[in-house]
Structure 1
Amino acid sequence: MSWIDGAVGTGERGFDVDQTNHSVVVGERVVVKWLTPPVPLPAPAPDMFAHLTSVGFTATATPYAALSRRADDGSETLLALVTAYLPEARDGWEWCVDEAVSFGTSFAADLGALSADLHAAMATPSATFPDPVRTAEGPWSPRAGEALEEALALTDGEDGEWLAAHAGALRADLAPLAAAGATPLIRIHGDLHVGQLLRWRDGYAVIDFDGNPTVADAAPLQPAARDLAQLTTSLEHVGQVAIRRRDADPAMIAEWALAARATLESAYSDRLAELGHAELLDRSLLRPFEIEQECRELVYAARHLPRWRYAPMGVLRSRYR
């Protein structure tokens, strides 16, 4: 167990949001996230926190502790992470849906710049990651193909029939990954969507560096485009939430999603260039990574949250009319 000094108050409450782990607010001072189930060490989050702290990235909840348990055979398991509580924080699945309903898009520039700041920080050497940038080829195609096949196997009913009927088109959009050349690789967030971006009293914060819950044994170094693709597709998921839960007009939401995506991608690119890291973004990977991510959303829905399936299916149906 590692600690950073900090006082902990009394009293606790839980978060009433969909999540694969269980988080508890203690004394309005810290958040304890219990991993369910616990994960073997080494795990991504502790090292990511150490690296980001050392290179001066502060747009996250300040990390205080990592709680682990050592077994008799010497192996360790990560049980919980303790971070600062962010006052007046709202989950992206709440505040971003409000933006969609009101056709607000200015927030997307902030998210694009924040994502670029994160990737630039991950590309900065530290004692934890002294050699943070590599250049290499995939292979990205096998992982994407496996995601599609798993989505096809796990998605049943009318949605499954639609998915099977469009499998050829989906494979065609994934095909460029098989011919992708060398690209810069860094440690990325790995599960970057609007739900990981809190809007709080002092701005925005990116949280949860545990990686994608549908990917086992993911390579530690990945293209920055993977994070950006997941973040932009999550804006389309927000649109689906607005249609389903807030009775938003589908045509208006489609227009909003296009505008928000364009604003976010432009701000991301501009900020990366400003920071001297324009080479991190390989645009040729964006479209196929977006399709792979929709397949992973379907896998996540099948394994963890069945009622979520409407969101990725809504996006896919709109893209392959």
Structure 2
Amino acid sequence: MNPSSTEPDGPPSPERTPTAGDGATAALVAALSRGDDPPGGQAVVRFHPLPPVRATAHERGFDVDQTNNSVVVDERVVVKWLTPPPPLPQPAPQMFAHLTSVGFTATALPYAALTGRSAGGAETLVALVTAYLPEAADGWEWCVEEAVAGRTAFAADLGRLAAGLHAAMATPSPAFPEPVRVADGDADGGWAARARDALARALELTCGEDGAWLARHASELAAGLRGLGRAAGTPLIRIHGDLHVGQTLRWREGYAVIDFDGNPTVTGADPFQPAARDLAQLGTSLEHVAQVAILRRGADPARALAWAAEARAVLLTAYREGLAAHGRPELLEESLLGPFEIEQECRELIYAALHLPRWRYAPMGVLRARFPHRTEETA
């Protein structure tokens, strides 16, 4: 959702969470690469064969803030230890199985998912094992560089990447035999109500000058959400759920979308959603990149905002063309983009208030740019 987030650590087993350098992760990868059961009594779901790895292989961590604890083994395999292990079912293993089956490769190749049981006996997701992508840069790094330089050609790559992902998600597989549904007349009781709740929560949690600004614009924001109540007939697919530039790596061989864990700030949402929700979040994240460039890199505000607008337009054009090339143009209901974008900014404000206060400048910067020059009413 944003370029820096943390959560309390928790163990994948009753004993401890493996960390880089203690040898436990390399031992796991070595066992999996031999076809053995994982040490420690956990169960494993396999997606692709692992490369051969020695139990004494080198381990290292990542020099970035992470929600979970990821360890790189032998510069070829990444093990993401979930901290704490969430209860199953979780979206990532299902997504891995589906994408493997339909041949989607624009991601870190999934090798395996490790499951275990909590102290209370519930089945949990302990770890995800994927390929390591050489020379990979996080989107909050490479995309800010693009913003500072004023380049937007990359956005076409992101649009095609998102279109390819959604076309793959709409393709039947043993994991998702019926991957496309259609929104019925109860859409207003789901998406619209959830968006209104997000706006109300953002108004409640955002304080100070920003909170006052938000309150003055509440009616405009609410009006922008009304389109969510008129979406009957929209195709629904299993979307990424948390698709922003930070989930797109630029690596030696191109771009890859990662982290199919779903949105950490949303609970209880139907996994089948309009493709427009992913695209809206990806587009607004480009606007967040512009705000990062302004604050952290001293970019000219007018130029950064113009860059974001151009990048979003390039993204949308490439996404439309990508869906058409895959024969799935009907997956995008464009009338939902604006409302989902407003909802996303509300969710960013909620996240900032609850987890990362310093992030508030980014969604507020986006909202102020979208609703400028309002004449304030005076008593």
Identity in percent = 71
Q: What SS does the corresponding residue of 2:134 show, helix, strand or coil?
A: coil
**Pick aligned residue for 1:233 from 284, 287, 290:** 284
Residues 293 and 316 from structure 1, CA distance in 2 versus in 1: closer, same or farther, beyond 3 angstroms? same
Q: Deviations over 1:261-298 (max 9, x none)?
A: 00010000011011110000000100000000001111
Greater shift in the superposed pair: 303-312 or 217-226: 303-312
2:302 corresponding residue in structure 1: 251
1:2 corresponding residue in structure 2: 45
Deviation at 1:136, TM superposition (A): 1.4
Residues 150 and 136 from structure 1, CA distance in 2 versus in 1: closer, same or farther, beyond 3 angstroms? same
1:174 aligns with 2:238: no
TM-score normalised by length of structure 2: 0.82
**Pick aligned residue for 1:295 from 346, 353, 364:** 346
2:240 corresponding residue in structure 1: 189
2:8 corresponding residue in structure 1: none
Contact 1:66/1:80, CA 8 A, preserved across alignment: yes
**Pick aligned residue for 2:315 from 264, 279, 282:** 264
Residues 5 and 236 from structure 1, CA distance in 2 versus in 1: closer, same or farther, beyond 3 angstroms? same
Residues 188 and 177 from structure 1, CA distance in 2 versus in 1: closer, same or farther, beyond 3 angstroms? same
Instruction: Map 1:1-321 to 2 at 5 A.
Output: 1-3=44-46, 4-6=48-50, 7-8=52-53, 10-71=57-118, 75-137=122-184, 138=187, 139-321=190-372
Residues 85 and 170 from structure 1, CA distance in 2 versus in 1: closer, same or farther, beyond 3 angstroms? same
Contact 2:138/2:248, CA 8 A, preserved across alignment: yes
Contact 1:20/1:304, CA 8 A, preserved across alignment: no
Greater shift in the superposed pair: 7-16 or 81-90: 7-16
In structure 2, C-alpha distance between the alignment counterparts of 1:134 and 1:88, rounded to whole Å: 38
Q: What SS does the corresponding residue of 2:143 show, helix, strand or coil?
A: helix
Residues 96 and 72 from structure 1, CA distance in 2 versus in 1: closer, same or farther, beyond 3 angstroms? closer
Residues 8 and 162 from structure 1, CA distance in 2 versus in 1: closer, same or farther, beyond 3 angstroms? farther
Structure 1 segments unaligned to the other structure (5+ residues):
none
Q: Which amino acid letter does the alignment assign opposite residue 270 of structure 1? A: E
Residues 180 and 29 from structure 1, CA distance in 2 versus in 1: closer, same or farther, beyond 3 angstroms? same
Residues 105 and 198 from structure 1, CA distance in 2 versus in 1: closer, same or farther, beyond 3 angstroms? same
Deviation at 1:180, TM superposition (A): 2.6
Contact 1:32/1:82, CA 8 A, preserved across alignment: yes
Structure 2 segments unaligned to the other structure (5+ residues):
1-43, 373-379
Q: Which amino acid letter does the alignment assign opposite residue 245 of structure 2? A: V
Contact 1:294/1:316, CA 8 A, preserved across alignment: yes
In structure 2, C-alpha distance between the alignment counterparts of 1:179 and 1:277, rounded to whole Å: 21
Q: Deviations over 1:48-77 (max 9, x none)?
A: 000001100000001112122124765301
Structure that is richer in helix per residue: 1
In the TM superposition, structure 1's runs of 4+ consecutive aligned residues that sit over 3 Å from their partners are 71-74
In structure 2, C-alpha distance between the alignment counterparts of 1:170 and 1:12, rounded to whole Å: 48
In structure 2, C-alpha distance between the alignment counterparts of 1:195 and 1:126, rounded to whole Å: 28
Contact 1:213/1:300, CA 8 A, preserved across alignment: no
Contact 2:182/2:232, CA 8 A, preserved across alignment: no
Deviation at 1:79, TM superposition (A): 1.7
Q: Which amino acid letter does the alignment assign opposite residue 84 of structure 1? A: A
Q: Which amino acid letter does the alignment assign opposite residue 153 of structure 2? A: S
Deviation at 1:8, TM superposition (A): 3.5
In structure 1, C-alpha distance between the alignment counterparts of 2:61 and 2:212, rounded to whole Å: 38
Greater shift in the superposed pair: 117-126 or 5-14: 5-14
Contact 1:67/1:78, CA 8 A, preserved across alignment: yes
Deviation at 1:14, TM superposition (A): 2.2
Greater shift in the superposed pair: 15-24 or 187-196: 15-24
In structure 2, C-alpha distance between the alignment counterparts of 1:21 and 1:191, rounded to whole Å: 15
TM-score normalised by length of structure 1: 0.96
Greater shift in the superposed pair: 69-78 or 133-142: 69-78
Deviation at 1:94, TM superposition (A): 0.3
Q: Deviations over 1:192-224 (max 9, x none)?
A: 000000000000000000111110012010000
Q: Aligned Cα RMSD in Å? A: 1.4
